[in-house]
Structure formats: C-alpha cells, structure tokens
Amino acid sequence: MSALFLGLISGTSADGIDAALVRFDPALEVLAALTAPYPPALRERLLALTTADAAISIDEFGALDVAVGECFAAAALDVLVHAGVSPDEVRAIGSHGQTVRHRPTGPHPFSLQIGDASVIAERTGICTIADFRRADVAAGGQGAPLAPALHAAIFADHMPCVVLNLGGIANLSLLTRDGGVIGFDSGPANCLLDAWNARHRGSSCDLDGRWAASGTVDAGLLDALLRDPYFSEAPPKSTGREYFNLDWLDAIAGSRQSAAADVQATLMALSVRTIADAVQSLPVRVGEALVCGGGVHNAFFMRSLQAALAPVLVRGTASAGIDPDHVEAILFAWLARERLAERAGNLVSVTGARGPRVLGAIHAARRR
C-alpha cells in the first residue's frame, strides 16, 4: 500500500474538524473523510476568542489548547475507523489546528493556531506535523493562504482557472497556463453571515441563504462596508475572523436602523462583491471558477456569485473530481507529505515570504 497521510483542519467558522485520509501516489485518492463537530460549549469558547478584544488567562489558554488537541485526535481516529485502516498504516498526520489569532503584519507578526500536536501524536500513535504557518511568517510572509500550492497540483488540468475557497474567510487562487499562481484572502465569505444569523436567529448558519435572499440590500451600508481599507490593499494579504466580525460590522453600521434580514442581504452582497472584485482584478482572464468550502452549499451564495462573475462558469470542485468539503483537509495531508520530504510548502508569489520554506514542526509518535 502506498503511504497514507491524514489531514485535519478546523477553519475560521470553527464549525467542526474536517478529517481526510489520503493517498497521493500514484494518484490522489481520498479513502475516507468526515467532519467532527466541536462540543457546543467548546465551540462557543473558540468563537469568543476571535473577537478583537478577547482576553483569556494563561491557564485557560493552555487547557483550551489541549482540549482542541483531544478533539482533533478523536476526529483522526474516527476517520481511520470509518476507513477500516490501522494507525500503523498512516505515515503522518498534518494538523492545521484552530486559528485563534492571525496578525501577519505589524512589528511582531504572528499566526496562532491551537490544538496540541503532541496530544494528537500521543492519542493516535501517529507522527503529527503541525504549526504550518510560522515559518512563512518568520520569513516575512503572510502565512496564508497555503491552499494555492495544492490547488496548482490537483487542478492543473483546469488551468487557467480560479479556485475559490468559501470558508469563514474567502480566499482565491489564480492558476495560469504557465504554472504561475497568485492567491490571497479577498475578505469575508461566511463569517459575518453566520455571526449575524446566530445573533438574530440563534442558528449556526443561514440555510441556503434563504434569509439573505428574503432581504433587500442596504446600499448605504454596503458602500460603508466596502470602504474598509482591507479591500483596496494589494496582495499579498490575508485576514481572519479577528478582523471581520460583528464588532467590525457594528462600528461601521453605527445607529443605522436596518431590518435584520436587510443586513443579512447586505452582508451577502459584501461577500459576493469583494470576491468578484478580487477575481476581476486578476491579471489573467479565466473561464472557470472552482468553488470549495462551506459556501458551496449555500445556493443563494452560488447563484449570486455566478451572476456577479458571468460569463465565468462558477461550479463546485466536485466537477473536477474533488469533493469541495475535503479540499482543505487534503491540503494538510499534502503539507505533511511535503514536510517529510523536506520540500517547501509555501508559494512566495502568494504569501510574500522572502523565499520558499519547509513548513511544519514534527511531533514524533509514541513508541509502540
């Protein structure tokens, strides 16, 4: 059997841990994949950390790091049971962890993920590689997005094209015929939509965008949101929920009296507009946009993107043979493989780092 790798990630939406068991040779094959939800109380603690002024004690932070690691280890073991594969057959786990703060600019740039990799290695008995962003940040890069390198590898047959990842934050990869890659975070995808929906309706997401579709876009509010300087910054750039959150929205909206459904419609328009502007700013015109991440399941989001990007064809990565829910977990399995092979995992054209860097720290498995 070819070497197997297992990828783990919880994205900016913190809605669960995506796990994928992957074989890369002779061709990419996902043997099993699943999403393991966080316990509700743990998810609330994680979401609370993403606000700009979040505070936490050192004791609580340490305990949270271990708790997230335990959940990641359980997700890894669950996907192995699902696949009928022994831990001994897995070469390594690549764990992204849970981002709790991403500050790639300033005098002391950093990107911080939790989910103790030593706990994962100990619970699973599998070599675990984690901490994939710091080496790029230390080299002057954004540490994100990391997905464009994988996109270039697995969607080569579709070049030129754009790959859109619609998680909490939207990021895009431009794949050109000559092998060139551009990628950056365009801004919010689902993070504001989910947060506003939770505030007013008490559920984790606006199913199929039905609530957004029921509202009317507040043009004045949309214009105010679009004036945020992040949207006009040139890449390389990346962002997160610690920037685009309800505190950010409330500060811009001020005392504006808009119906809640109209604000949801406006937030959808913001995500669609900023993604479309980002695609249209690219130096190469493309005919296809392949979409992955949770937003691919939002019918209104996808229809709105198609309208904004026409005549570009917008469709899920399933059309290219890759389940859109698996792409990011595949990424961290791939990065684990690259780390063990001592190959660079970043793209300078995407992150802006001073050069290619081998990414990830190795946490050896326990002796059996």
Confidence grade of residue 151 (pLDDT, cut at 50, 70, 90): very high
**Average pLDDT rounded to a whole number, residues 321-332:** 97
* Prediction pTM value: 0.95
**Average pLDDT rounded to a whole number, residues 339-366:** 97
Confidence grade of residue 204 (pLDDT, cut at 50, 70, 90): confident
C-alpha–C-alpha distance, residues 117 and 363, integer Å: 7
The residues of the chain that CATH labels 3.30.420.40 are: 4-142+326-363, 156-320
Q: Which amino acid is at 188?
A: P
Tens of pLDDT, residues 224-248 = 999 999 999 999 999 999 999 999 9
Cis amide prior to 236 (ω within 30 degrees):
yes
- Domain 4-142+326-363, what architecture? 2-Layer Sandwich (3.30)
**Predicted pLDDT at 146:** 97
**Predicted pLDDT at 54:** 83
3 state SS of 101: strand
C-alpha–C-alpha distance, residues 196 and 240, integer Å: 16
Tens of pLDDT, residues 11-67 = 988 889 999 999 999 999 999 999 999 999 999 999 888 777 788 999 999 999 999
Closest CA to 54 of 103, 100, 104: 100
C-alpha–C-alpha distance, residues 330 and 248, integer Å: 32
**Average pLDDT rounded to a whole number, residues 297-320:** 98
Q: Which superfamily, per CATH, for 156-320?
A: ATPase, nucleotide binding domain (3.30.420.40)
How many Å separate Cα 347 from the centre of its chain? Answer: 17
Confidence grade of residue 173 (pLDDT, cut at 50, 70, 90): very high
